[in-house]
Amino acid sequence: MSESNIDFMIQPQLKFSQDESGLEYIEIENRLATAKIALQGGHVMTWQPKSQDQPVLWLSSNARFIKGRSIRGGIPICWPWFGAHPTDSALCPHGFARVIPWQLVDADTLKNGATRLVLQMMETAESRRQLSYPHLLAMTITIGETLKIDLATTNKASHPFVVGEAFHTYFKVSDISNVHVKGLEDALYSDKVFAYERRVEKNDVRFNGEFDRVYLNTTADCMIEDTGLHRQIRISKSGSQSTVVWTPWADKAEQMGDMGAPDEWRTMVCVETANALENAVVISPNRTHVLSVEYSVETL
Ligand code: BG6
């Protein structure tokens, strides 16, 4: 969809731009919220409802905006596998959807004033090299007082295929020590920090070191309670059996090189709506699977 094809009613809400390395962006402003999306990766970089005085998403102050590199912060899309590729360690962790171009295929305004955009992942030589069977990946992003994202995978092949996936969302928090994640009590998890050891979560999640867990077989909403910002972010999901919670802590953040100033990692936490490990989804020919999430902010 080119800029000139967009419905004239929605044109004032969208601003298109390109940076010096050729990456393209859409900035959205409606009466409910502002947001910015990079077309590379279909990557929602920012979202802030007008009712809030703080951004909801965290974006690193030294995120790199480079062709073929994922942006640190916002909502990277992990697809068609989560974490390491199941059989080929040479392939990029978390799949290729976050580093190849997407295109805008539809845009409209909902009755409540929210902006709805539909993006589709483009086929490139790289995507064909890494995933040989035919597929369609489309994402509907609804930007308003809440942020809703549907990621739809359609199997165009004549055989079933398996997809691992996640909205790898970075949330802005006051400080990691002020944060509790609720909703994962009693869930089984695989702990990457301790050689994928499996345990059951007993309480709310709190943080005092590197944290990297895939919670399995859980369809529950999660809440990020932040006593410093006096807010709670609610994560409601469907089509998802896993939730991943990740924070790198100081040493790993330093090694990563794009996590911002030395203590900037303390102001983020990732709570990822996913289908990971044995929760990866088998999709039959001509069927579509949809992973959905909706984020909302409540005052504490
Ligand atoms: C999390 C993983 O989802 O993503 C972590 O569980 C990983 O193990 C983190 O370190 C960041 O991944 P990346 O590829 O964006 O640096």
> Which of the following is catalytic: 135, 165, 168, 201?
168
Give the global pTM: 0.97
CATH number of 3-299: 2.70.98.10
Task: Select from 43, 70, 168 the residue to mutate for testing ligand 1; criterion: most ligand atoms less than 8 Å from CB.
Answer: 168
Between the two ends of the chain, the Cα-to-Cα distance in Å is 41
Comparison of pLDDT for 300 and 1, the residue scoring more: 300
pLDDT tens profile 44-59: 999 999 999 999 999 9
Domain spans in the chain, listed from the N-terminal domain onward: 3-299
- Tell me the CB-side half-sphere exposure of residue 6, using CA atoms within 13 A: 22
Is there a cis peptide before residue 93, judged by omega within 30 degrees of 0? no
Mean pLDDT of 270-298: 98
Cα–Cα distance measured from residue 98 to residue 90, given in angstroms and rounded to the nearest whole number: 17
The rounded distance, in Å, linking the Cα atoms of 152 and 106 is 15
Query: CA 276 to CA 269: how far, in whole Å?
Result: 18
* Distance of CA 277 from the midpoint of ligand 1 (Å): 14
Question: Among this protein's residues, is 168 annotated catalytic?
Answer: yes
Cβ atoms < 10 Å from Cβ of 131: 20
Is the pLDDT confidence value at 5 over 70?
Answer: no
Q: Is the pLDDT of residue 2 over 70?
A: no
Q: Is 260 helix (H, G, I), strand (E, B) or coil?
A: coil
| 167 alpha carbon – ligand 1 mean position (Å) | 12
Query: What is the band of 11 on the pLDDT scale with cuts at 50, 70, 90?
Result: confident
Whether the CB of 295 sits within 6 Å of ligand 1: no
272 tagged catalytic: yes
Q: What are residue 179's DSSP bridge partners?
A: 226
Percentage of the chain modeled with pLDDT above 70: 97
Q: What is the pLDDT of residues 28-85, one digit of tens each?
A: 999 999 999 999 999 999 999 999 999 999 999 999 999 999 999 999 999 999 999 9
Alpha carbon of 6 to ligand 1 centroid (Å):
36
Q: What is the mean pLDDT of residues 141-158?
A: 98
pLDDT digits over 173-218, tens only? 999 999 999 999 999 999 999 999 999 999 999 999 999 999 999 9
